[in-house]
Structure 1
Amino acid sequence: MGVLEFMPATRKVLRLLASEPEDFAAEYGVRLHEVAQTVAQHSLSFMKSFPYETSPDWFGHFAIEGETQQLAGVCSLKGPPVDGVVEIAYFTFPGFEGRGIGTEMARFVLERARRLPEVTLVTAHTAPESNASTRILERIGMRFSGEAQEDGVPVWRWEIEAL
């Protein structure tokens, strides 16, 4: 794996990728992944619930694999902090799993969360079973804190203090 580069997923970036993926690739000098356009469309839909014209510090980044300049994943905070708590999320694009990219994205977004002065606790949710994502969270220092519900679905909750 080459070193990852991170591109802010602003509304401008997401709009271009969602509507004109070839223009996006040419403008930013990256190779597209087959799921990137769908991810951008879903991200734009999610962002409609927030009143910001551009992505604030707590929103997402695309991960670009350095050697190939291909989009390899996306990571973000799932919204602004609420009562000092913020949740991280990351998605490694198919074909890039098992190469450390998920860990690097999770570490990147965790460090961004820790730099926000209002954040005291960082959380993450996984499927309620041991899997690649639980191992990633353990690698970056997060600890299992119990079961929870997300949109009516059982999940495992992970936490780490924002020191």
Structure 2
Amino acid sequence: MIKTQHLRLKLFSISYADEMFKGREYFEKALGVTVPENWTNEKDALEIFYNEMKKDSSNAHWWAYLIIHTKDNKLIGCCGYKGQPKDGTVEIGYEIHPEYRSRGYAVEAAKGLIENAFTFPEVSKVLAHTLAEKNASGSVLKKNGFTYVKQLTDPEDGELWQWEFERPGIKKPC
């Protein structure tokens, strides 16, 4: 579990996924927290993470986390990595329930993911992608020290901006 000032990022385990697929009341009981209706827009992504974890649960920490607001004991979103590090790089993503947006929780969750990633010596860089426009997600990344790198075209998502954050103290080649 990753703990921040206001949040707990709880690993989205196979057993939690099984309960989520059964229904909200089962999921609430398994997590021991309140789960709001329509708590995520990313159920498809969670299903992908679930299938990846079933293939190899030893790498579950490189997939999804559930964002729990500690004081309210409520599930307020999900976040995580898009798989194991490749060439020293991991990619992050995050989502906050509308009721909890604009309170700094996405910034806090992203920071928790970044700090956690850098506890692994093989990680030297964290990437993220946003839609190719000024938006809240870009602000979350800027507040965490990310730098805009480039615009690219994704076959599914269209035009995206790529952002990166390098491990502090990494020397760049000349």
Q: Same fold (TM over 0.5)?
A: yes
Q: Secondary structure at the match of 2:61?
A: coil
2:161 is the alignment partner of 1:156:
yes
Counterpart mapping for 1:74-89 below 5 A: 74-89=78-93
Residue 4 to residue 130, structure 1, CA distance change in 2 (3 Å): same
Partner of 1:18: 21
Q: Secondary structure at the match of 1:123?
A: strand
Residue 109 to residue 83, structure 1, CA distance change in 2 (3 Å): same
Instruction: After TM superposition, give the deviation of residue 36 of structure 1 in Å.
Output: 3.5
Quote the RMSD (CA, aligned, Å).
Answer: 2.1
Q: Residue 60 of structure 1 contacts residue 74 of structure 1 at CA under 8 Å; is this kept in 2?
A: yes
Q: 1:9 aligns with which of 5, 9, 12?
A: 12
Counterpart mapping for 1:5-154 below 5 A: 5-36=8-39, 39-40=42-43, 42-49=45-52, 51-53=55-57, 56-152=60-156, 153-154=158-159
* Letter matched to residue 109 of structure 2: M
Structure 1 CA distance, aligned partners of 2:52 and 2:114? 23
Instruction: After TM superposition, give the deviation of residue 113 of structure 1 in Å.
Output: 1.5
Residue 37 to residue 138, structure 1, CA distance change in 2 (3 Å): closer
Structure 2 CA distance, aligned partners of 1:54 and 1:40? 22
TM-score computed with the length of structure 1 as normaliser: 0.88
Residue 49 to residue 24, structure 1, CA distance change in 2 (3 Å): closer
Structure 2 CA distance, aligned partners of 1:155 and 1:45? 21
- Give 5+ residue unaligned stretches, structure 2: 169-174
TM-score computed with the length of structure 2 as normaliser: 0.83
Residue 143 to residue 37, structure 1, CA distance change in 2 (3 Å): closer
Instruction: After TM superposition, give the deviation of residue 143 of structure 1 in Å.
Output: 0.6
Q: Secondary structure at the match of 1:57?
A: helix
More moved, 135-144 vs 25-34 = 25-34
The percentage of counterpart residues that share the same residue type is: 28
Q: How many residues align?
A: 162
Structure 1 CA distance, aligned partners of 2:61 and 2:120? 8
